[in-house]
Amino acid sequence: MSGERILLAHGGGGELTDNLIREVILSGLGEAAGGSLEDAAVFPAKGSVAFTTDSYVVNPLFFPGGDLGRLAVCGTVNDLAMRGARPLALSLAFIIEEGFLFDDLRRVVESVRQAALEAGVKILTGDTKVVERGSADGLFVNTAGVGEVVAPREITLCGVRPGDEIIVSGPLGNHAISVLAQREGLSFETVVESDVAPLWDMVEALMGAVGDDLHALNDPTRGGLAASLNTLSAASGAAIEIEEGAVPVEPAVAFAAEMLGLDVLSLANEGKFVAAVAAGTSDRAISVISDGEKGAHCAVIGRARKGAGVSSRTPGGGKRIVEMPYGEDAPRIC
Amino acid sequence: MSGERILLAHGGGGELTDNLIREVILSGLGEAAGGSLEDAAVFPAKGSVAFTTDSYVVNPLFFPGGDLGRLAVCGTVNDLAMRGARPLALSLAFIIEEGFLFDDLRRVVESVRQAALEAGVKILTGDTKVVERGSADGLFVNTAGVGEVVAPREITLCGVRPGDEIIVSGPLGNHAISVLAQREGLSFETVVESDVAPLWDMVEALMGAVGDDLHALNDPTRGGLAASLNTLSAASGAAIEIEEGAVPVEPAVAFAAEMLGLDVLSLANEGKFVAAVAAGTSDRAISVISDGEKGAHCAVIGRARKGAGVSSRTPGGGKRIVEMPYGEDAPRIC
């Protein structure tokens, strides 16, 4: 029924909760839901499993190129992919503000369904809580994920070695600009769409192409490329130097970032990865990454060296330090 | 520093987020945290794994006998235990309202640490988000859990068979009354403490004592025993009949429930289970459950029969239907 809203009692654990779970969530997830209605799902596993979680509090819930539901699936399967793990199972936990529209919940669940099918993962378990009006902002989602590590050698943040080439899988900043523009009601000539997408297929292809020469992976989400590179550099004990002119950015994103006074290097992405590959293997890497639509504009952006910290060579030949962002730029971006 | 509060920028994914995670969360968890700072943790698994999640939005955060942190560990490891799974790994995801006190966060993290050690589980991965003042109510926590299924035969909600004896592991209603009394500022002569506790040790002992004769397990959390029995009955296709006088309830809980106009059978518990065991095995079951402090007042409360639905025989000899609660009684109890 259009206009129908969530009640506090939908979170009480009784008949209304059961109805909500069966009629909206499980039936909306359809073939993307696996298993039973038990509180815990059981499935077979062997070898190394990867395990991760993220809560998603993006505001607004719907933005060009995606929404909270798509984000909650992609963000978590991408954290698994960054460890070389094929996603096996997701959990899906909603915290809903009393009065939230059923129709909006159905839209989010439909996005979860589509993204889960795209990512090749099943939703195996979940939870639904409702809080009073004013005690949450619409809808928060948490997903946790379990994956099967298929990387031949463990992929960690610590794997960058001096000499490695640094690759990004595509243009940066789209997710943050899409969400910020929607939130602030800004319209630019070109609508910037979020890049939110599952990355496992690209990572799998990359591992197939370069094998053990894939030294490290990270997804530049909150804090963007700047946070990602600083994290890799600090964890690995290596310096990273990028060519600022080599970092792919769509003109509309560059323009919007300029207007908003934001550094593209600190903007969140939800469908990109940074990879460190052994010297001499970046051609093979770029070749397989650019094979797919999501990696069409991937690029080698720099190189790791002995030392510490992250720096960027500007097109004019200067050099600047790329700092770890402090954190205040863009709240509730994911 | 006392009085220090969380800022929006603590959720930005930059330096402030890093500091919060290292200085408050990881250092507070101490030996209960495992692994690295990667977004996803990797650990070995074999055989069947159980996977579950719950978000915790209890109000107030601190109540007699427990708090949000203890609840978030116990609730999730207990969902694993109900599938016969030894808890292996937990995730821990915070959604924090801007302005929340660091000292309260530290208290919650300390409770997570203690409960995780008590439950024998490590926190392997996590996430921290911050939302603006007024966009959440203090602190919400999500935990997901992975466990190793050690039950000889899969334990499901569907396993109740006619003739089975129904056991509860201790007195009911303490958790709900503890939280409601604290929230409403009610004081009774006896302070009712929440029963929030990890159940795996008791479940393991029970499995050791009765083996395959353990047919079904469920924890009577939201919706209480009434929801639990109705869920088991519907999933298994069996009727369940209990003796109302046999259900253990502490006098202070019975009194408070009466005062508040609540049915003890619908009150949430966070450290109790309901078990269906084969006819003739309840003595052995009761013997091992009552061995530990947490199970000291366990009891056989009834029996499964052919048919459908849940009913209760009153001390006076009457019979009433125990309905699935609708859901409106006690919001934000967990």
Q: What is the pLDDT of residue A2?
A: 67
pLDDT at B329: 77
Q: What is the maximal distance between C-alpha atoms in chain A?
A: 67
Judged by CB atoms closer than 8 Å, whether chains meet at B45 and A40 is answered as no
- Cis ω on the peptide bond leading into residue A60 (within 30° of 0)? yes
Distance CA A143, CA B57 (A): 16
ipTM score over 0.90, yes or no: yes
| pLDDT band with cut points at 50, 70 and 90 for residue A188 | confident
> Can you tell me the mean pLDDT for A275-284?
98
Per-residue b or e along A46-75, where b marks 16 or more CB atoms closer than 10 Å to that residue's CB = eebbbbbbbbbbbbebebebbbbbbbbbbb
Average pLDDT taken over every residue of chain A: 95
List of domains in chain A:
8-149 (3.30.1330.10), 157-321 (3.90.650.10)
Tell me the pLDDT of chain B averaged across its residues: 95
Between the ranges A109-118, A153-162, B29-38, where is the mean pLDDT highest?
A: A109-118
Binary contact (B40, A83; C-beta < 8 A)? yes
Range 89-118 of B in CB contact (< 8 A) with A: 89, 91-95
Report the gap between the CA of A217 and the closest CA in chain B (Å).
11
Q: pTM of the full predicted structure?
A: 0.97
Decide if A73 touches B, using CB distance below 8 A: no
Of the partner residues A7, A157, A266, the one whose CB lies closest to the CB of residue B38: A157
Predicted pLDDT at A112: 98
Contact B131 A327 (CB under 8 A): no
In whole angstroms, give the CA distance from residue B225 to residue B268. 8
pLDDT tens digits, residue range A213-251?
999 999 999 999 999 999 999 999 999 999 999 999 999
Given a cut of 70, the residues of chain B with pLDDT beneath it are: 1-2, 36-37
* Nearest residue to A151 (alpha-carbon basis) of A212, A201, A235: A212
Interface test with B, best of A10, A36, A127 (most B CBs within 10 A): A127
Rounded distance between C-alpha atoms, residue A258 and residue A198, angstroms: 28
> Which pLDDT band holds residue A193 (cuts at 50, 70, 90)?
very high
pLDDT at residue A270 is higher than 70: yes
Q: What is the pLDDT of residue A315?
A: 83
* Nearest CB to A332 within list B37, B94, B131: B131
Q: pLDDT over 90 for what percent of chain A?
A: 89
Interface membership of A130 toward B (CB under 8 Å): yes
B268 to chain A: closest CA residue: A13
User: What DSSP line would sit under B235-268, residue for residue?
Assistant: HHT-EEEEEGGGS---HHHHHHHHHHT--GGGS-
% residues pLDDT > 70 (chain B):
99
Nearest to A327 among B14, B44, B235 (CB): B14
Whole-number pLDDT of residue A224: 96
- pLDDT tier for residue A165 given thresholds of 50, 70 and 90: very high
Nearest Cα neighbor of A272 from A229, A242, A313, A302 is A229
pLDDT band at A280 (very low <50, low <70, confident <90, very high): very high
CB count, 10 Å around CB of B222? 27
Task: Kindly report the length of chain A.
Answer: 334
Question: Which chain B residues are within 8 Å of A54, Cβ to Cβ?
Answer: 39, 93, 127
Show the tokens assigned to B138: 């203090």
B234 touches chain A (CB under 8 A): no
CB-based contact A266:A223 (threshold 8 Å) = yes
**Cβ contacts of B92 on chain A, cutoff 8 Å:** 53
Say whether pLDDT at A38 is over 90.
no
Helical (H) or strand (E) element with B236: helix B224-236
> Residue A139 phi/psi, 5° resolution?
-150, 130
Q: Does B85 touch chain A (CB under 8 A)?
A: yes
In the structure encoding, which two tokens stand for residue A271, read together? 């469908």
- The answer on pLDDT for A1 being more than 60 is no
Q: CA-nearest residue of chain A to B151?
A: A42
Q: Which two tokens stand for residue A186?
A: 């800004």
Mean pLDDT of A314-334: 90
